[in-house]
Amino acid sequence: MTTIKSLVIIGTVALMTSCASTAKFPVSSTVPAADITAKKKQDKNKNYVIELTAHNLAEASRLSPPKNNYSVWIVVDYGVTKNVGQLTNKNAKKSTLKTTTPFNVKEIFITAEDQGNLTYPAGVEISRTTFKK
């Protein structure tokens, strides 16, 4: 009986995680210690939930030249770029951003910016990755 329960639990977890697409960011020359991943999944309302996690990301004010924040951008169909938020980071071991968008995200990237409310990226690009599906 416990074997069947274990198999059911393993199968359920595998099914739930297979619905998400995970993308790992390449090593950044600006912040080489940062380990960044993004996960995209669709919710019950057909919106896309994006979860970005950064480990060992230096505070933006420690960059050269210093910046005020890290902005997260998505590229959707037809190459349109949208700002989806900022990574809050005070030299934390782990920084996260969770956001919901109606757009199917093709690419995601992070920039170091002087302002947080920009409509287009103007600062230094930290890293960029694409989603497979």
Ordered alpha helix ranges (H), the chain: 2-18
Q: Rounded distance, CA 79 to CA 92, Å?
A: 32
Q: How far lies 15's CA from each of 2, 9, 20, 101, 132, in Å?
A: 20, 10, 10, 23, 18
**What are the domain boundaries of the chain?**
21-130
Q: What is the pLDDT of residue 45?
A: 95
Q: What is the pLDDT of residue 17?
A: 47
Which runs of E-coded beta strand occur in the chain?
Answer: 21-24, 35-42, 48-55, 69-75, 81-87, 94-101, 107-113, 124-130
Q: Rounded distance, CA 38 to CA 50, Å?
A: 7
Q: What is the pLDDT of residue 88?
A: 75
Q: What is the pLDDT of residue 24?
A: 94
Q: Span 21-130: which CATH code?
A: 2.60.40
Per-residue pLDDT of the chain (133 residues; tens, 9 = 90+): 566 665 555 655 555 545 789 999 999 999 999 999 999 999 999 999 999 999 999 988 889 999 999 999 999 988 899 999 998 776 568 889 999 999 999 999 999 999 988 999 999 999 999 998 7
Single pTM value for the model: 0.82
Q: Would you call the peptide bond into 65 cis, given omega within 30 degrees of 0 as the criterion?
A: yes
- A 10 A CB-CB count for 25 gives 19
